[in-house]
Amino acid sequence: MALQILLVDDSPMIHNLLRKVLVKNGHEICGDAKNGKEGVEMYKSLQPDLIFMDISMPIMSGLEAAAAIKKLNPDSKIIMLSAMGDEAVLTEARVIGINLFLKKPFDEYKIISAISSVA
């Protein structure tokens, strides 16, 4: 099933890679946000089926943004993508209710498997 997906990451390289993998697999990128604040605003207006969210971003972090989105809609689907994946970060992500946590780098198989497990 084709999903409307919102990308929230401050890295143009990550946007580029995710866009290629997701479009190739039949999904649609409905929004590109460069920080957590933009991500929350875009979530409100676009109501995507799924969000890919980085953690370390300027203005508002991915964990703060994810918490805000989960408050707006506890059923929202968020896959966290981050370079950091230590126990403290994973615990914080679990408390917020992140649906899945992926450590960078990623490949097509990892991304598509992640979508299948949460969508």
Partner 1 sequence: MRQEMIAPFLQSTQNMIEQMSGITVTADGGFYEEQSELVSLGLATLVSFAGKVKGRLLIDMEPSLAVAFAKAVNDENYTSDREFMVLMSAGELNNIVAGDANTLINNQFQLDLRLAPPVIISGVGSIIRIPKISSMSANLMTLQGKLKVNIAFEGSL
Interface residue list for partner 1 (CB under 8 A): 10-14, 16-17, 20, 56, 58, 82-88, 103-105
Q: CA Rg, the chain, in Å?
A: 13
Q: How far is the CB of 88 from partner 1 (least distance, A)?
A: 6
Q: How far is the CB of 74 from partner 1 (least distance, A)?
A: 27
C-beta of 1 vs 88, nearer to partner 1: 88
Q: How far is the CB of 45 from partner 1 (least distance, A)?
A: 26
Question: Which position has the token pair 């460069």?
Answer: 34
C-beta of 72 vs 83, nearer to partner 1: 83
- Helix-helix angle 62-72:87-96, to 10 degrees: 20
Sign of the CA dihedral with 90 first, then 94, 53, and 63 last = negative
